[in-house]
Amino acid sequence: MTVTAPDPGAYLDHAATTPMSPAALEAFVAEARRTGNASSLHSAGRAARRAVEESRETVAAALGARPSEVVFTAGGTESDNLAIKGVFWGRRRTDPRRTRVLVSAVEHHAVLDPAFWLAGHAGAEIVLLPVDGDGRLDLDALRAELAAHADEVALVSVMWANNEVGTLQPVREVVRLAHQHGIPVHTDAVQAVGQVPVDFAASGVDALTLTGHKLGGPVGVGALVARRDLPLEAVLHGGGQERGVRSGTLDVPAIRAFAAAVAEAVEHREERAATMAALRDELVAGVRRAAPEAVLRGPDPAAVTGAPSSGTPASSPARLPGNAHFTFPGAEGDSLLYLLDSAGVQASTGSACQAGVPQPSHVLLAMGVPEVEARGALRFSLGATSTRADVERLLAVLPQVVDRARAAGLASPRAVAGGAA
C-alpha cells in the first residue's frame, strides 16, 4: 500500500513563527536528555547552570552585548512587558514626575497593551508618536514631545522593525534625541534579529527585546537585553533568578536551543537576507502583475532610502528583506486568507482580532490607510526555508483568489453599507 505524503503547501507566514533550525533542534534535544535545575548546587544543577551561562555568552556575542545584560524570559511578550512596566516603575521609584510613556503608534500589542495597562492601573500617560505613510516614526513629533515634557517622560519605546509592513525605524536617532534628556529607550527587535544588523551596544538602546521562534528557535523562550544600570523593577517575583528581575526556573533546553538559533541566524544573516530580498522582490513584482490594483504598504523595496539610525547601512533598503505587505481593494483580508489557505498557501492578514471580530490593522490606520482599504490586508513573510516554489505557488493561485474574495465582498452586508464597520 502506497501512502501519499500530504502536500506541505507554501508557508509564507515566517513573521508569525518560523521552523526550528536543525542546530537549534539538536541543541534542544541534547539538553532535554539531561536533568538539572540551574539553581541547584549539586553536579546536575551546576551542569545546567553552565549550559545557561554559555548560552548567555553566545546570545550576547551575537548581539554586541555583555553576558550580564542578557535576561532570559519566556519570549517577546514577556520581555516587552518587563521593559515597559519595569522601566516605568523603576524610573517612578526615584522620580514620581516620570509618568509619560512614549511609544510609536505602530508598535506590537506586546508593547501597546502593557503601556495602556499602566495608564489604567499605575497613573501613566501614554503618548502615541505618529508615523508617516510608510510607517516610519515622525522624529519631529518625538523631538517636540521631548522639548515640551522631557522631565515627565519615563521611557521611549520604538520597535526596530515593524511586524506588519516591515518598516525599519530610526532607532539610533531616537536614542540620540532621548538620551539628550537622560531618557532610556527600549526597542522591540523581535522581527529584526537575523534579518538586519542588530548591535545592542552600537545602537545605544537601553533595552532590547528578542524571541526564539521568529529566528529558528523554539516557542516560549526569548530575552530582554538590558543595561545593568537601567532602573528595572521585576514583573515576576519568586526565586530571584535572572538578576532578580525575572524569577522562575530556567528552561535550560529552550535557552540552549535559543542561543544556537540566535548564533546561526546572525552568522548567516547576510546571505539569507540577500536570498530573502531577491525572493521578496519576485513576490512583489508577481503580485503586482497578478493583481494590478493591489497596493504595497510600507517602503518600496526598490528604494534605497535606508534607515541609518537603526543600525543598517545608509544604502540598505528601508524594510525587512523577508516582508511584503499588500492591501487588495474590494476584498476582505480574512476572505483572502482562507481562500489562499484552501489553495495551499499560508499567509497572514497582519491585523488584530478582538473577541473573534476582525479589526483593521492599527498599523495601517496609523499610516493613514482608510479603514475600508485596511480591511483588505495580507502579509507575506519569508524565512530561511522559503523557496522560489513557494512564491510561484502563491502567484499561480492569487488571481482566482482575489476575484473570489472580491465577489464575496460585493455580496456582503458591509459592501452594501459602503464598508462601514
Taking only the tens place, the pLDDT of each residue in 379-398 is 999 999 999 999 999 999 99
Q: What percent of the chain has pLDDT over 90?
A: 88
Q: Is 400 within the bounds of a domain?
A: yes
pTM to 2 decimal places: 0.93
177 a catalytic residue: no
pLDDT of residue 36: 96
**Statement to judge: residues 65 and 157 lie in one domain:** yes
Asked if 85 and 115 touch (Cβ cutoff 8 Å), the reply is no
pLDDT at 409: 72
Residue 309 pLDDT > 70:
no
As a whole number of Å, the CA-based R_g of the chain is 22
- Residue 2's pLDDT is what? 52
Please tell me the distance from the alpha carbon of residue 140 to that of residue 40, in angstroms, as a whole number: 52
Has residue 102 got a pLDDT over 50?
yes
pLDDT at 353: 46
- The percentage of residues in the chain with a pLDDT greater than 70, rounded to a whole number, is 90
Residue reference for cell 513576490: 283
pLDDT tens digits along 357-377 = 568 999 999 999 999 999 999
Tell whether 413 is covered by a domain.
no
> How many residues are given for the chain?
421
User: Pick the catalytic residue: 353, 407, 410, 421?
Assistant: 353
CATH at residue 64: 3.40.640.10
Q: Which of 88-102, 303-317, 319-333 has the lowest mean pLDDT?
A: 303-317
Residue 411, all three cell numbers: 455580496
Whether residue 211 has pLDDT greater than 90 = yes
Whether residue 415 lies inside any domain: the answer is no
Residue 333 included in any domain: yes
Residues 83 and 201 in one domain: yes
Assign 302 a pLDDT band (cuts: 50, 70, 90): confident
Q: Are 231 and 315 within one domain?
A: no
* Three-class SS of the chain: CCCCCCCCCEECECCCCCCCCHHHHHHHHHHHCCCCCCCCCCHHHHHHHHHHHHHHHHHHHHHCCCHHHEEEECCHHHHHHHHHHHHHHHHHHHCCCCCEEEEECCCCHHHHHHHHHHHHHCCCEEEEECECCCCCECHHHHHHHHHHHHHHEEEEECCCECCCCCEECCHHHHHHHHHCCCCCEEEECCCCECCECCCHHHHCCCEEEEECCCCCCCCCCEEEEECCCCCCCCCECCCCCHHHCECCCCCHHHHHHHHHHHHHHHHCHHHHHHHHHHHHHHHHHHHHHHCCCCEEECCCCCCCCCCHHHCCCCCCCCECCCEEEEECCCCCHHHHHHHHHHCCEECECCCCEECCEECCCHHHHHCCCCHHHHCCEEEEECCCCCCHHHHHHHHHHHHHHHHHHHHHHHCCHHHHCCCCC
Q: Cell for 397? A: 493561485
CATH number for 325? 3.90.1150.10
The residue assigned the cell 516614526 is: 137
Given this model, what pLDDT does residue 303 score? 66
In a domain, 186, yes or no: yes
Decide which of 216, 243, 266 is a domain's last residue.
266
59 within a domain of the structure (yes/no): yes
Residues 144 and 26 in one domain: yes
Model confidence at 307: pLDDT above 80: no
Residues 6+ apart with CB under 8 A from 28: 20, 218, 253, 254, 256, 257
pLDDT, one tens digit per residue, over 11-53 is 999 999 999 999 999 999 999 999 999 999 999 999 999 999 9
CA distances from residue 408 to 347, 372, 387, 412 in whole angstroms, order as listed: 19, 15, 31, 6
pLDDT of the residue at 12: 98
- Number of domains within the chain: 2
Residues 48 and 59 in one domain: yes
Confidence of residue 286 (pLDDT cuts 50, 70, 90): very high
Question: Do 285 and 393 share a structural domain?
Answer: yes
pLDDT for the residue 310: 45
pLDDT at position 411 over 70: no
Task: Assess whether pLDDT exceeds 60 at residue 308.
Answer: no
pLDDT given at position 418: 36
**Same structural domain for residues 254 and 381?**
no
**pLDDT in the model for residue 420:** 30
Q: What confidence tens digit (pLDDT) does each residue in 333-350 have? A: 999 999 999 999 999 997
- Which residues constitute the domain of residue 109? 22-266
Domain-located, residue 7: no
* 308 within some domain: yes
